[in-house]
Structure 1
Amino acid sequence: MYEKNKYNIVIADPAKNITVFVLDNIERELYKDVARAILKKTPYDAEQVGFVKEPIMGGDIRLEMMGGEFCGNASRSIGMLFARQNGIQRGNVLVEITGSNKALNTKVDLKEETSEIEMPIPRKIEKIHVNDFGEFPIVIIDGINHIIAEGIDATEENFEKFKKAVYENYNVEAFGVMFLDKEKSYITPVVYVKDTDTTFFESSCGSGTLATVAYLGQDLKDGSQKYNIGQPGGTIASEISKKDGKIETITIGGVVKLSSEIEIEL
């Protein structure tokens, strides 16, 4: 158990997917306890916690999420934080994050308060059977898997059925269910992180947007398609580009609000 201590943090708000960045150099074995304390004992309505570290893959900055999961919104937000810390008004930042085996390019504009990131390519889209509901597509991404649940109500009871099916078939750090209203291009994201045993009906989800766009863009053979994916906390813009039926790039982007540095005691 970690000792009561002071921590320096920054709060990121990408489409209300509130993320707390811990700036202090925290040992990995303490991530779970520190993250749980931040989620439970602070007034920021945070949905996730990431720990800022020195890069190890040639990137500009590294972020390690509380459960070793991948997170698109946190990735583009930490890129903006690096830009602010280093006086980069507009430019590119290479972001390292858990769940990705390479640094990801982020385009940041501090004046417009926007950040767009080139996301990891999903490895594949499989099918998963969920009791009472039937078969659904599950998008396999390094660091997190997402089920696209079209036409299913976003309730805790329904989510638990998906969770049971996932852990009967996969061993993953984290997974989400994107409850999709295809007509409205709207998702209600629910994400579970195994290491911290936390479930959040998230305000928005970057990797869930990636998964949704990969699913929606399955019939695209060549060229690019833009999507605006509505979510409870706002809209995330995304673009998928494909060649010969294969995904070349998927980006997500939009406004990110950053707090100043805050000192907290837990």
Structure 2
Amino acid sequence: MPVLTFSKWSPGGNTTLLFPDSGQHPAEQAWLAALALDPAMLGGEQAGFVQLAQGKLRMAGGEFCVNASRAVGAMLAYAAQNSSPEQGILNGFAADPTQLTSSAPPPCPVRIDEIQVSGWHSPVRLHTRGAAPLWQVEALLRLPACSITTVEEGAQLVRLPGICHLLLGGPAHPLPEDCYAAAAQLRQRHNLENEPAAGVIWWRECQGQLEMLPLVHVRDADTTFLENACGSGALALALRLSRSGTRRAFSIMQPGGSALEVRLFSENGAEMAGVDGLVALVARGKIWLPDPVPRTRPCRA
């Protein structure tokens, strides 16, 4: 029976499970995540594995995730503010708990960290403000050349490293009764089934407020969730809207009820994006996962 230390985070409502990366094979990580994400266990919308001392995050399907990256920013701040040996052992994220000091430093107005995240091509810089159990965390990303193509009326496909998003706006794409079935058909129609992660996002602007509803499928983890927030989806929508005008800052309301703030800017000649929003610590502890059920051969008459 696998036993894992975990912490559960809510970056804007996008509930994220983070586990220590203890060298599990990617297939094992995907299997463990699928078990833990079951509503009968911990539940959640996505999972990742962290080497906190090394500043590395690998999502269970090897995809890229902005919100999980922002959760790691909060985790790093929490670890610094609660750095007793006992806390390190409980969290399971300290590389060597004997190296930790027993006195916690006061919270800094802004904490700056840099991490490597699966799927993304360059380090992700994190600006974290606040203290447990609620932080404000901005993920700063160096943008590559992003492909944005119109694939049908009112629909654009935005390809980011480690994830792509199909954006559906306007009267041609009203919200369907069954989002899961509609998204599955759209992924198949536009040959997105083999992407590491593919989001289908319905969006609109109502009285000046942008709103989006994201449904994300992760191939290797074999998960599909109608998410309460999606950072990379918000970034994709901002990039698409910026192509048709001069707007460079966007406040995008998420289904969970809070907004993600996306800004596009230049830094030292590089195109950059910042995705900012709340991150809350929900729970932490240990989980006892069930052993896999052995496959049995069907009986023959």
Same fold? TM cut 0.5: yes
Contact 1:84/1:110 (8 A) holds in 2? no
**Shift of residue 225 of structure 1?**
2.5
2:167 counterpart residue number: 148
**Shift of residue 255 of structure 1?**
1.0
Q: In the alignment, does 2:225 pair up with 1:200?
A: yes
Structure 2: distance between partners of 1:31 and 1:40: 14
Contact 2:6/2:284 (8 A) holds in 1? yes
Q: In the alignment, does 2:39 pair up with 1:19?
A: no
Instruction: Tell me whether 31-40 or 41-50 shows the greater mean CA deviation.
Output: 41-50
Structure 1: distance between partners of 2:266 and 2:226: 31
**Shift of residue 86 of structure 1?**
2.3
Structure 2: distance between partners of 1:83 and 1:17: 19
Specify the SS of the correspondent of 1:251. strand
Q: In the alignment, does 2:233 pair up with 1:235?
A: no
Matched AA of 1:73: N
**Shift of residue 81 of structure 1?**
0.4
**Shift of residue 247 of structure 1?**
7.6
Matched AA of 2:254: Q
Query: Cα 1:175–1:208, aligned 2, differ >3 Å: closer, same or farther?
Result: same
Q: In the alignment, does 2:210 pair up with 1:185?
A: yes
**Shift of residue 128 of structure 1?**
5.4
Query: Cα 1:135–1:161, aligned 2, differ >3 Å: closer, same or farther?
Result: farther
Contact 2:142/2:271 (8 A) holds in 1? no
Structure 2: distance between partners of 1:83 and 1:54: 11
2:91 counterpart residue number: none
Contact 1:129/1:165 (8 A) holds in 2? no
2:271 counterpart residue number: 248
Structure 2: distance between partners of 1:242 and 1:121: 10
**Shift of residue 47 of structure 1?**
0.2
Structure 2: distance between partners of 1:5 and 1:144: 29
What fraction of aligned residue pairs are identical, expressed as a percent? 25
2:139 counterpart residue number: 117
Gaps of 5+ in 2: 82-106, 290-301
1:106 to 102, 122, 126: 126
Matched AA of 1:143: G
1:20-169 → structure 2 map (5 Å cutoff): 20-28=17-25, 29-40=27-38, 42-53=40-51, 61-87=55-81, 89=108, 90-111=110-131, 113-121=135-143, 123-127=145-149, 129=151, 134=153, 136-151=155-170, 152=173, 153-154=175-176, 155-167=179-191
Specify the SS of the correspondent of 2:50. strand
Matched AA of 1:160: A
Q: In the alignment, does 2:280 pair up with 1:257?
A: yes
Specify the SS of the correspondent of 1:187. strand
Contact 2:151/2:157 (8 A) holds in 1? no
**Shift of residue 260 of structure 1?**
5.0
Equivalent pairs, count: 251
Contact 2:18/2:48 (8 A) holds in 1? yes
RMSD, aligned CA: 2.4
Specify the SS of the correspondent of 1:182. strand
**Shift of residue 53 of structure 1?**
2.3
Query: Normalised by the size of structure 1, how large is the TM-score?
Result: 0.85
Q: Which has a greater percent of strand? A: 1
Gaps of 5+ in 1: none
**Shift of residue 262 of structure 1?**
0.8
Instruction: Tell me whether 85-94 or 199-208 shows the greater mean CA deviation.
Output: 85-94
Structure 2: distance between partners of 1:44 and 1:196: 16
